[in-house]
Amino acid sequence: MSPTRRRASPRPPKADSLGSALAFLRTLWAVDHGMAQLSARMKRSIGATGPQRLALRLIGRSEGIGPAELASLLHVHRSAATGIVQRLEAGRLVARRIHPEDSRRWVLSLTPAGRRIDRRQRGTIEACVRRVLARSSATETAAAVRILERLAGALARED
């Protein structure tokens, strides 16, 4: 082959020829990538990433929640939740205090700055999800939730 002629790049497969598993996985990767990009923009614009804001939203609805319960709600290991809480504390968005009835446990609450982010709607992953769900039927939403829950369970069993 001459140096000026290049071999044609292989054409990517059409989405409908991938099969259902690869097509679904491809869509999940697009969602993951989009959430990561919006999360980075959220950090710059509102002072919290997507996972941090989700933690703030959950703490705001469960004042006095402990780190272990937060980890369970977030579906992450306790050490991952600890890291999120530490970053929220460092940003003065969450306060941690000793549980009033059990001095071995901690409880979490939002600071005034944390409450502002908890109330914020525009420019968040949650706002994007709300817009999509508003245009989706209850049947579509329920089916999507069931499939994603089954997938999450299957992935957890792979650990």
- Residue 72 has a pLDDT of 93
CA-CA distance, 53 to 101, in Å (whole number)? 28
96 and 108 Cβ atoms separated by less than 8 Å: yes
Residue given tokens 């409450």 in the structure block: 115
80 and 68 Cβ atoms separated by less than 8 Å: no
- Residue 157 has a pLDDT of 83
122 and 92 Cβ atoms separated by less than 8 Å: no
Higher pLDDT, 134 or 17: 134
Question: Is pLDDT above 70 for 16?
Answer: no
Higher pLDDT, 45 or 12: 45
* Interior angle at CA 59, CA 58 and CA 60, nearest 5: 90
CA-CA distance, 146 to 126, in Å (whole number)? 19
Question: Is pLDDT above 90 for 105?
Answer: no
Mean pLDDT, residues 86-94: 95
- Residue 130 has a pLDDT of 94
Mean pLDDT, residues 23-28: 93
Question: Is pLDDT above 60 for 96?
Answer: yes
Q: What is the pLDDT of residues 59-78, one digit of tens each?
A: 999 878 988 999 999 999 99
| Domains of the chain, earliest start first | 28-157 (1.10.10.10)
Q: Which one of 6-10, 16-20, 33-37 scores highest in mean pLDDT?
A: 33-37
Mean pLDDT, residues 37-47: 94
